[in-house]
Amino acid sequence: MSMSEFEDHLLEEKKELFCLPNMEGIFPDDFSVDEVEFACELDSLFALEQEELPPLFVQTLIESNDSRFETVEHGFELKTQAQVFRRLHLTQDLVRPHPILVSRSLFGHLPVTSRPLLAVCTSCVLFLMVTIFATAPAFASGLTYLLAGAHSGVLLVDKAPFIASHAHHVTPKQIKPVTNSTPQQISMAEAQQRLHFPLSVPAYVPTRYNQTNFYLYDGDNSWADGSIMVVEYTYALPGLAPKHITICEFKPDQTVYLVVKNEAAKRIMVNNQENSAIFVEGHWTQSGDSSPTWVYNDRSEIVYETNGVVFWIVGDPSDGIDTTELTAVANSLHVLSTQGPDHIGGHIDSVTQTDQDTPHLFANDVIYLSNPDNSNGPAFKVVGTQPDQPQARTGLFNNQIPYSS
């Protein structure tokens, strides 16, 4: 019987053939109205008592045991997937391993030779964590470092730091009495013996500059290991203020950062791009009781470190001593030979020994000392000052940051 025949049969039937939804005892109590209507409709289409059966009803009952109509077994999907991947020559794990089993399998079968590597990796992670905790205060306080070497560089700040003029107690060894003695002349060999590092000199300075002198300073033992050597070259014309290129060499006793105005320093490369250095444009200056300000146009400087020796190379930008010229001077630095004329000015017979700790050119420069052995922590210091002497820039010191001397 086709569907069109069923529809014609429905039209010929009378309305009383359809059962009513509220007939009691015929349908279960939980049948909804829609379910009752659907059952009545099926009954009107196929009268089982008159052997009017749906199409293929008998075949469906007979073939119920056919394997095609059986419920698939557990894992059928994975088996089919495996057959497809095998036919396509692909590889895939049928079962995803449990993470715990993976970790046990991995660490349980590590060869003995890889355990030292695991220890090294663990040490690196611990070192990284310690470094993060150690540098977090500096980042939180807004401090930015540019490193010129293992023990030198610059500290970038937005404004000049405040330094106390009378703070830490200083031992008698740290305070050098002020004398008016005349500087003495000593031989280069004797000066080299007092230095804790080999003296270096440049093979290049602008041709208009002439070597003036070598100056030996006792050194400030709070940040310099031994004496400080200053090499000076001068360009002088009658009636004009002389211009200088000054090279200050010292071995740091701890990490020494030159405190610089933010955005006044940049990293450069020296020695044929093999070493990093810092170029600084300007310096701090103060007028009267006003706050210190940064001046850009009357001083240029390179902070450079090699073989544990720090070089502060200073020039005058008004005479064209800029990044290029100072870099050329730094690139030409080499250890002075005492055997012959190994210097621009020829053979050096004597060195001027002063009774001061630090050069006057760098007096009142602010440095930042970072010594892990210092229980008081890092501290700012003004070059060339002592706690028992009046400070040259009063506005820079007002008892807020410990003064180290």
pLDDT digits (tens, 9 = 90+) for 130-179: 777 665 555 545 568 888 888 899 999 888 877 654 333 333 334 444 45
pLDDT number for residue 142? 54
**Separation of alpha carbons 189 and 76, rounded Å:** 93
Query: Where does the pLDDT of residue 97 fall: very low under 50, low under 70, confident under 90, or very high at 90 and above?
Result: low
Which of these ranges, 40-44, 115-119, 176-180, 289-293, has the smallest mean pLDDT?
176-180
The amino acid occupying position 344 is I
pLDDT number for residue 275? 85
Tell me what the mean pLDDT of segment 202-217 comes to. 90
Query: Where does the pLDDT of residue 388 fall: very low under 50, low under 70, confident under 90, or very high at 90 and above?
Result: very low
Pairing of strands 243-250, 309-315: antiparallel
Q: Which two tokens stand for residue 117?
A: 């590597």
Q: Which two tokens stand for residue 245?
A: 């290129």
pLDDT tens digits for range 259-314 = 999 889 999 999 878 888 999 999 888 777 777 888 888 899 999 999 999 999 99
pLDDT tens digits for range 26-40 = 777 788 888 888 878
pLDDT number for residue 154? 92
The answer to pTM > 0.75 is no
- Decide which of 240 and 292 is more confident: 240
Say if CB 172 and CB 275 are below 8 A apart.
no
Which of these ranges, 125-134, 192-201, 253-262, has the smallest mean pLDDT?
125-134
* Closest listed residue to residue 369, CA positions, set 401, 347, 346: 401
pLDDT number for residue 389? 35
Instruction: Delineate the domains of the chain, giving CATH numbers in brackets.
Output: 3-69 (no CATH), 99-133 (no CATH), 145-396 (3.30.200.100)
pLDDT number for residue 339? 65
pLDDT number for residue 398? 34
